[in-house]
Amino acid sequence: MGIHRKETNTDITIHNNSNHPQHKIAAYRFYINRLITFPLTQEEKDKEWNIILNTPYNNGFTIEHIKRLKHQILTQQSKKSHDPANNNISKKIWATFTYYGGYMRGITNMFRHSQIRIAYKTTNTTFEMLTHSKQCTTVTSGIYKLTCKTCQGVYIGQTGRSTDT
């Protein structure tokens, strides 16, 4: 039977150039975990893996990146299944870091082998931009124009809420 996809399914994921470090590979993690955990025949697994490998190209990823991700997931699962300490469930502590670019990964990787888990947040939200008049220009009621401070890119959006600040 294999994995079902709706006819409206596309091969679009968050692009690799996106400023969302964890989210942009989340779809691929899901696809690979589903491939590994679903009870599929070898033929169905091969077919699914080929579908997964056809997705990265349109989204700025390389096939090698996805293959490394699959290897990493398989390695992690193997370590967990062979680790006797894994049976002890301990409460994880979460810390939040503001994501400012790729170098944040190096800083937060220092916590990799600790009980502290890292979550990233951004201060570059639509709400933040709408509440600071230097970044937001109201075109008409409910329509707004946002200008990125970094690249000067422009986004024009619409909301049912008032954009007056």
Q: Tens digits of per-residue pLDDT, 118-148? A: 887 777 666 666 665 555 555 556 777 777 7
For residue 107, the model assigns a pLDDT of 80
Give residue 152's region: left, alpha or beta (phi > 0; psi -120 to 50): left
For residue 52, the model assigns a pLDDT of 92
For the stretch 27-45, pLDDT in tens is 999 999 999 988 889 999 9
Decide if pLDDT at 165 tops 60. no
For residue 42, the model assigns a pLDDT of 93
Structure-token pair, residue 14: 């968050």
Decide if pLDDT at 72 tops 90. yes
Question: Which residues are CB-contacts of 149 (< 8 A; sequence separation ≥ 6)?
Answer: 135
> Structure pTM?
0.51
**DSSP calls for 59-102:** GT--HHHHHHHHHHHHHHHHHHHH-GGGGS--PPEEEEEE--ST
